[in-house]
Amino acid sequence: MTWHSRTSTTTTTPDGRGMGRDGARQADGSAATDRASRDRDATRPRDGAAVARADGRKRRAGGRGARPFLLVLLLGLTLNSCAGPASSATRPRATGSGESAARAAAPEPRSSAVAFAGASSVGVLIDSQGEHFCTASVVNSPKGNVIATAAHCLQDAGGDPAYEPGELEFAPGFTGQGKGTYPYGRWKVGSVHLDERWTDDAEDADAADYAFLTLAPDARGRQVQKVVGAATPDWSSAPDRRVTVVGYPNKQHNPGNLPIACTTDTRPDPDLPQTLLMECAGFWEGTSGGPWLADYRDAKHQGRLIGVLSGGDTDSESTAALFDDRTRELYEEAAGR
């Protein structure tokens, strides 16, 4: 795996171990920045301990406990009532990537997330121990091998990569209890592309909390987009949009490993320039990196990808960096590989 920002490329040493911008990999991937309170959680220490998988930096203290127990219970019952594929051998029909003017009415706005029959192009990142953490989704590209997620899923702002080369995979359409099932397989990550504002921990790093990853083809030589479809990115969206946001909460809040979704309206985040804010309950740890799809209608008409989930103060308040021309530059770097 290689790691990139627009001004730097991390090389792979002869023994296959990745080197960070400072020439040394961060030992435990933990967060240590003042801005940590805005993000969904803290990177899990890489010691194999049986603890809940984290997918970014810590959110503000006390925010997670503010939701009523009844809401959590109802969400859990809703998620568990929707069964996924029985095994990884079952291969559901993949969904498309186009956008239509009609055919299906857009989902109505909601105040809490529900289980999502989904777009097959949305899935999870998998580490070398087979554990899933962040959400990711396929982005339409010429080669059909690009996915998007949150930058903090991969390393802290200004820190070193939290994973060694070859440790990450993408599992589109992931679902099921325990280790879950992989209806479209697991696709190896080949390269990671991060904005220099994130790798340098610049003043506006929060506006660059996104990443594009390229995937190797599967054993049959197919690119992921050919198999599961993709959403088309939008680099000039207005901040006030109706979006459908998809994510995979962690096992504590989602024992069936089912994707959830919420359709709601966005507005500019008053605290973070170039960042969107939405209010919808149910987006716990694990949903970081999930796509924000404007004008989503159904699984075959996903609308346009305008950002990915980066953080929030509670499970009912989430943020995303709004894609712009700088995001497009990073995407084009990834899409060219």
pLDDT tens profile 183-238:
999 999 999 999 999 999 999 999 999 999 999 999 999 999 999 999 999 999 99
Rounded Cα–Cα distance for residues 217 and 285 (Å): 29
Angle, CA of 128, 288 and 319, to the nearest 5°: 165
Of 322, 281, 327, 331, which Cα lies nearest the Cα of 113?
281
**For residue 32, pLDDT beyond 90:** no
pLDDT tens column, 302-325: 899 999 999 988 999 999 999 999
User: What tokens appear for 31 in the block?
Assistant: 């967060």
Q: What does pTM read for this prediction?
A: 0.75
**For residue 118, pLDDT beyond 60:** yes
- What value does the mean pLDDT take over residues 259-279? 95
Residue 178's pLDDT is: 87
Of 118, 123, 229, which Cα lies nearest the Cα of 182?
123
Confidence of residue 53 (pLDDT cuts 50, 70, 90): very low
Residue 41's pLDDT is: 46
- C-beta of residue 75 within 8 angstroms of C-beta of residue 328: no
Rounded Cα–Cα distance for residues 152 and 144 (Å): 24
Q: Rounded to the nearest 5°, which phi and psi values hold at 219?
A: -65, -20
- What value does the mean pLDDT take over residues 101-120? 72
Residue 327's pLDDT is: 98
- C-beta of residue 240 within 8 angstroms of C-beta of residue 266: yes
Of 128, 165, 130, 154, which Cα lies nearest the Cα of 18?
165
Confidence of residue 40 (pLDDT cuts 50, 70, 90): low
Q: How many CB atoms lie within 10 A of CB 34?
A: 6
Rounded Cα–Cα distance for residues 293 and 308 (Å): 9
**For residue 20, pLDDT beyond 70:** no
pLDDT tens column, 161-184: 999 778 999 999 999 998 899 999
Per the listing, tokens 């969206």 go with 237
Residue 298's pLDDT is: 85
